[in-house]
């Protein structure tokens, strides 16, 4: 028995002729926070998309709690305990903020990660507003609350920091750390390194669908190859 919660091995995905994932492998332990960073277009969102079941990978494996869940669709993954946020969230417009959470199916016997997801992300005061009235930053927080409502043990967050103001950033970093302390594992995808630094030192840096660095964030920021791909943008 491995103590890893999530293991991905050799994930590949192409769109047309473009190999967007060229064999990504990593593991995440329960309650661990792993940062997945890299320049725009390096394949970070696609990585979340194939793990969370939005897309099927062309090759490779996704193992969750020791079982292959490779290619299973989003709703099956959510039920299994893996959920994700979207880089560009699309809340149900015409539904209130609260109703957007109520439509989420709860996992059978899921451990309650947070009692009240809306309160957890600081949106309870807006619960009766139409979701479309929220700012883009607030829509990201609502999307996070939606993912939390399913009771995930593994949460994949895609560029949560972009669009949040500095006060919201501090708050959300504190809350994500709280989730990890409660045993939720997090894969934190970010283009910029600053927000990741608030959460974890363990990062993988991607470029062109491949891992180019794995280690601690401070070393990544000094790594020649990493600096080069960021400057080369
Ligand atoms: N559904 C898709 N169809 C075609 N190309 C896609 C699709 N999703 C992503 N891509 C392409 O894959 C590459 C990586 O995109 P993405 O995973 O979004 O990168 P990142 O999140 O690191 O910015 C980009 O060139 C993007 O245009
Ligand atoms: Mg992306």
pLDDT in tens, 156-172: 999 999 888 888 899 99
Reference 38, options 51, 47, 26, 28; nearest CA is 47
pLDDT band at 191 (very low <50, low <70, confident <90, very high): confident
Ligand nearest the Cα of residue 39 is: 1
Reference 87, options 25, 12, 126, 140; nearest CA is 140
Is 68 contained in some domain? no
Is 92 contained in some domain? yes
Q: In 3-state terms, the chain is what percent helix, strand and coil (to 5)?
A: 35, 25, 35
Is 156 contained in some domain? yes
Is 21 contained in some domain? no
pLDDT score recorded for residue 1 = 47
Measure CA 6 to chain center.
Answer: 13
Share above pLDDT 70 across residues of the chain, in percent, rounded to a whole number: 96
Is 16 contained in some domain? no
In order of 18, 200, 202, 213, 230, the CA distances from 219 in angstroms are 30, 13, 10, 9, 14
CATH of the domain at 184: 3.40.50.300
pTM, rounded to two decimals: 0.95
Is 86 contained in some domain? yes
Whether residue 204 has its Cβ less than 6 Å from ligand 1:
no
Is 38 contained in some domain? yes
Pocket test for ligand 1, best of 13, 15, 88, 229 (most atoms within 8 A of CB): 15
Can you tell me the distance from the alpha carbon of 49 to that of 11, in angstroms, rounded to the nearest whole number?
Answer: 11
Tell me the pLDDT tens digit for each residue of 39-68: 999 999 999 999 999 999 999 999 999 999
- H-helix or E-strand containing 159? none
pLDDT score recorded for residue 194 = 86
Tell me the pLDDT tens digit for each residue of 102-130: 888 665 556 678 889 999 999 999 999 99
Residue ranges making up the domain that contains 149: 30-54+80-231
Measure CA 63 to chain center.
Answer: 17
Mean pLDDT of the chain: 93
Q: What is the 3-state secondary structure (H, E, C) of 8-54?
A: EEEEEEEECCEEEEEEEEEEECCCCEEEEECCCCCCHHHHHHHHHCC
Q: Is the pLDDT at 186 greater than 80, yes or no?
A: yes
Domain count, the chain: 1
Ligand nearest the Cα of residue 158 is: 2
Distance 45 CA to ligand 1 centre (A): 7
Residue 29: HSE in the Cβ half-sphere, 13 Å Cα cutoff: 6
Q: Classify burial at 13, counting beta carbons within 10 Å of its beta carbon; exposed 0-12, middle 13-18, buried 19 or more.
A: buried
Measure CA 161 to chain center.
Answer: 11
Distance 43 CA to ligand 1 centre (A): 6
Is 10 contained in some domain? no
């Amino acid at each position: 028995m491995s103590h890893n919660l999530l293991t991905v091995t050799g994930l590949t995905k192409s769109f047309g002729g473009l190999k967007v994932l060229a064999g990504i492998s990593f593991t995440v332990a329960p309650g661990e926070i792993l940062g997945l960073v890299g320049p725009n277009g390096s394949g970070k969102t696609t990585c979340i998309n194939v793990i969370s079941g939005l897309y099927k990978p062309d090759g490779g494996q996704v193992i969750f709690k020791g079982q292959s869940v490779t290619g299973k669709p989003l709703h099956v993954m959510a039920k299994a305990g893996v959920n994700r946020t979207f880089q560009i969230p699309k809340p149900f417009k015409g539904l209130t903020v609260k109703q957007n959470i109520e439509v989420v199916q709860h996992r059978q016997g899921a451990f309650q990660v947070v009692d009240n997801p809306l309160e957890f992300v600081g949106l309870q005061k807006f619960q009766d507003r139409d979701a479309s009235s929220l700012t883009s930053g607030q829509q990201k927080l609502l999307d996070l609350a939606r993912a939390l409502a399913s009771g995930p043990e593994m949460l994949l967050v895609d560029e949560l920091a972009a669009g949040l103001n500095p006060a919201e950033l501090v708050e959300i970093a504190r809350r994500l750390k709280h989730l990890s302390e409660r045993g939720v594992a997090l894969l934190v995808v970010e283009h910029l390194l600053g927000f990741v630094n608030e959460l974890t030192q363990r990062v993988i840096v991607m470029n062109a669908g491949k891992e180019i660095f794995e280690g601690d964030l401070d070393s990544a920021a000094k790594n020649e190859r990493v600096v080069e791909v960021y400057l080369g943008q």
